[in-house]
Structure 1
């Protein structure tokens, strides 16, 4: 029924056994152990990009934790509205909670497939999916320091071929399996601790009770489960478990370091952009005077620093005159202390007698005659 899982798993293992069998020999236990280990590495290499997406999704979910906590309090009595608002928040931030589960979900069928393929390595069997009769016999006869890869210490009806059927002995099996069980439990704990340490950087995310429970399960229950369940698993599965945790540790280090570097670079760029737009210390703001924003644009001095003569030109030099808006009237503004040009006061029309207040006296006389 699950041949779509069993065939790909057996094929990858078959390819690696052929490669390492060419170096160490087809019947060597080392060739079979390396075939299992590189089956793990092949799978994890295929899942590298989904793992990066998982880390990014987890980072976004952690950043959204305060907003999600507010929504839980606001819609505590309306589950339907809460689900809609949560989905809206995740959509706006580009977060996908299911994206973080994909690498784990894919590894589950591979684990099941490998377990099933190992069960089918039985004495006298003529084929095992991609493996032929000679390769089945090679696996049954091989051992790793006296321990049989397809046998477990404790056999059940769902377990693999018994240790006696494969021609092994309990002492050799325990000598190899016990250290592997302990190592598998330790690596599982270290991997979980590394993940929890990343979450600890966000107190809002750690405040969630479900997250706290899950972290405790990852830190303590899963590692203990590996050690306790080790005797019921084939030796090859323990090699699978140890190599999988080793890959996870290395991959977490590389991916987290890369994402941290990307975020630091983004922060530096944003800070540099803000600094470039901010005014420098002591810098005066630019003013727009008579349409001239900055006299430096045309090489002339600012408009309020140009000397204006009676004709409205700057110091008699047309090239030095500031640019004027179309239709603007000339402004005859003398410099402080300058004498009027032509003996007349500055800004006085000629028709007012040339004296201050001349126009007002003439109007006063006309008013008296009318009376």
Structure 2
């Protein structure tokens, strides 16, 4: 147990410093306009921490979007493999993983942002929980730790309290319940937004679709059950992170949707309407721009080039190549 504890401390200690540096930085700025020991200054510092972390994860989010799009586009090929190797599960798994590798995608890429945030989430959880007992981590001094752990929102709702240990405090239970519902709803809506707007019809069936549907219903349940044990400060972090994800995903789906999806059709319609308002020529879609097939015409026979009398005399009476000799045969 001591060995595992040492490993945990080795991983968490750097996170304590990173999180505490950002928190203290925001709190120092907000303390100039808000009561430094008030819950609002600390809650807004947590929101600022969330925005910094999510901004740092933007490159990973872009990679996730590309991987998710590639997963959608290769679904027809996945179905072909299932038909071809459905009787051999081992061969099917090998060929499917090879297809994923060639396409530069990963079926678990959609989970990466959540997985990378979990250590930060637990570090913040522990930071708040232990600050409530006056224990400091990172660059938090004991005075700041006491201020952080004892901060009260609206003057009577401690941000270190949870729904479970509210001891009948109606304000704590009500705010925690609202944040748990918000956290659960934003998790569900974000995943639902991806499936309903940015997945082609071919991707709505098969193993990838089953994975997405599982996440659609499992993740909200996990957060709802676990949320009642999270401090209010941590609930603010996760709800803010979900709102960021929803807004970021909405922007990407609206402006750069995957081909063959409802979002792609909606973008084409907006582009046509915008061009019509500006009086610009409306670009045809791929289907409209495709030319109609031309009728096949019989190949015409090449006729021999006519020669002058002088050319015939100088050629010794020979006909040009491709001409006809007596009897109609080519020379």
> Which TM-score applies when normalising by structure 1?
0.64
> Which has the higher relative contact order, 1 or 2, with Cα contacts under 8 A spaced 6 or more apart?
2
Which position in structure 2 is the counterpart of 1:205? 203
1:15 has 2:15 as partner: no
1:130 has 2:130 as partner: no
1:260 has 2:257 as partner: yes
User: Which stretch shows the higher mean deviation, 221-230 or 131-140?
Assistant: 221-230
* CA RMSD, Structure 1 to Structure 2 (Å): 3.6
1:84 has 2:83 as partner: no
Query: Runs of 5+ in structure 2 lacking a partner?
Result: 1-8, 269-282, 296-301, 317-331
Which position in structure 1 is the counterpart of 2:243? 246
Q: How many residues align?
A: 277
Give the 3-state SS of the residue equivalent to 1:349 in structure 2: helix
Give the 3-state SS of the residue equivalent to 1:38 in structure 2: helix
Could you tell me how far apart the structure 2 residues matched to 1:61 and 1:210 are? 8
Give the 3-state SS of the residue equivalent to 1:128 in structure 2: coil
**C-alpha contact (below 8 Å) 2:161/2:232 kept by paired residues:** yes
Query: Runs of 5+ in structure 1 lacking a partner?
Result: 156-162, 283-288, 290-303, 305-330, 334-344, 353-371
Q: What are the equivalent positions in structure 2 for 1:1-371 lying under 5 Å apart?
A: 1=9, 2-125=12-135, 127-145=136-154, 146-155=156-165, 170-198=169-197, 201-208=199-206, 211-212=209-210, 214-219=212-217, 221-260=218-257, 332-333=307-308, 349=313
**C-alpha contact (below 8 Å) 2:134/2:149 kept by paired residues:** no
Give the 3-state SS of the residue equivalent to 1:22 in structure 2: coil
Q: Relative to structure 1, is the Cα distance of residues 213 and 235 closer, same or farther in structure 2, using a 3 angstrom cutoff?
A: same
Could you tell me how far apart the structure 1 residues matched to 2:201 and 2:116 are? 30
Could you tell me how far apart the structure 1 residues matched to 2:109 and 2:227 are? 30
Give the C-alpha shift of residue 225 in structure 1: 4.1
**C-alpha contact (below 8 Å) 2:50/2:241 kept by paired residues:** yes
Q: Relative to structure 1, is the Cα distance of residues 73 and 4 closer, same or farther in structure 2, using a 3 angstrom cutoff?
A: farther
Could you tell me how far apart the structure 2 residues matched to 1:96 and 1:209 are? 13
Q: Which 4+ residue blocks in structure 1 deviate beyond 6 angstroms?
A: 261-265
Could you tell me how far apart the structure 1 residues matched to 2:185 and 2:285 are? 41
Cα offsets for 1:242-272 (capped at 9, x unmatched): 111111110001122232399889xx79969
